[in-house]
Structure 1
């Protein structure tokens, strides 16, 4: 039996390609154009998975034969059975990631669909703090930062969606070569609502780069 092999951001990517193909079927009459769009979508999806078994490839390929919204809904529902869950995490584990933070505001884990996340993120409005937790190489890593609400929509650096964003800044643990007392701030515009961001993110390179620049 095929084991789960699709990460959340990869599933979002496949969904985005499926939406594009469906839209093409509904709006384009030239069969050659439709064929080209389907071929490109399939190629992009396969590129997400450098190593695929025969069974895994067979699960992904039906995007080439789907035509109706029902077809695509069934295709995505089938793939959802093979998504990799975000690792279970406890409040105690989260506290260990932020040992210097007194009175740490914890996320409402009981009311979150943790398994469908790419990263765990939440804010503490009282302190203008924002927190990120990400699974890497079998363990969790965490970053704490400050957020400055923009009160307007803009592009999120993580999911590239046009949503309400905040300027998130975190202090890098690496000291500057200019002065041992100077610490570099790492900043990016990110979604205020991490749940929405997790539903759109299709590439983790920016997220992992953010963690890398802060923690190394």
Structure 2
């Protein structure tokens, strides 16, 4: 039995590549061009899994042989059992991550599909704060900051999607040597106001992990 080996953002990436191939099958007449699209998708997907076993490779590379719309649908669906779920968290764990927030309001954890999120994010309108929780080695790490809703749509720094965003600003816990105790560094990024939509689009966690590291100073991997 093949154990889950696909992270959620990687699953999104595979779906995107499958959609590219599917569109090419109905819009590209030149067989050579279509073959190039297929090869490109297969290469990109396999490159996202440099340590894949032979069985895992065989599962992934089927993307290059898909032809009909139903084939693509079945391919994407067939990979769901191999998606690594987000670590299930409890309200107690979340409150421990953010101890300074005595009246922390957490999302309804019973409604969360842990197979469908790369990170757990939510806004607390009462405190004007935004919270993000992300897996880090054997546990999870949390960051919090103030948010300001943007007056116009912009590009999210985490998923690169265009839509409603907020400027999320947090204070970095890392300090340079020999600086004043009063020194602090604010780090800000535009991110989606709807974390569910952001999670549907995110295909790369580089920006997210760098943002978390810059704020917490913790190594993610």
The alignment's TM-score, normalised by the length of structure 2, stands at: 0.95
CA apart distance, 1:25: 1.0
1:176 Cα offset (Å): 4.7
| Cα distance between partner residues in 1 of 2:171 and 2:126 | 20
TM-aligned CA deviation for residue 107 of structure 1: 1.1
**CA deviation after TM superposition for structure 1 residue 115, in Å:** 3.0
Q: 1 or 2, which has the higher strand percentage?
A: 1
Q: CA RMSD in A?
A: 1.1
What is the CA–CA distance in structure 2 between the aligned matches of 1:88 and 1:49, rounded to whole Å? 24
Q: Which residue is 1:31 aligned to?
A: 31
The equivalent residue for 2:141 is: 141
Aligned-partner Cα distance in 2 for 1:89–1:72: 33
Question: Would you say how many aligned residue pairs link Structure 1 and Structure 2?
Answer: 216
CA contact (8 A) 1:159 1:197 kept: yes
1:194 counterpart residue number: 195
Q: 2:152 aligns to what?
A: 152
In structure 1, distance between residues paired with 2:142 and 2:95: 10
Q: Distance in 1 between matches of 2:24 and 2:148?
A: 39
- State the 4+ residue runs in structure 1 displaced beyond 3 angstroms: 176-179
Q: CA deviation at 1:125?
A: 1.2
- Which residue does the alignment assign to 1:12? 12
Which runs of no fewer than 5 residues in structure 1 stay unpaired? none
Q: Does 1:41 align with 2:46?
A: no
Equivalent position of 1:96 in the other structure:
96
Q: TM-score, normalised by structure 1?
A: 0.97
- Report which stretch shifted further, 112-121 or 173-182: 173-182
CA distance in 2, matches of 1:109, 1:215: 24
C-alpha deviation, 1:152, in angstroms: 2.5
What is the alpha-carbon distance in structure 2 between the residues aligned to residue 185 and residue 116 of structure 1? 30
- Are the aligned partners of 2:120 and 2:134 in contact in 1 as well (CA < 8 Å)? yes
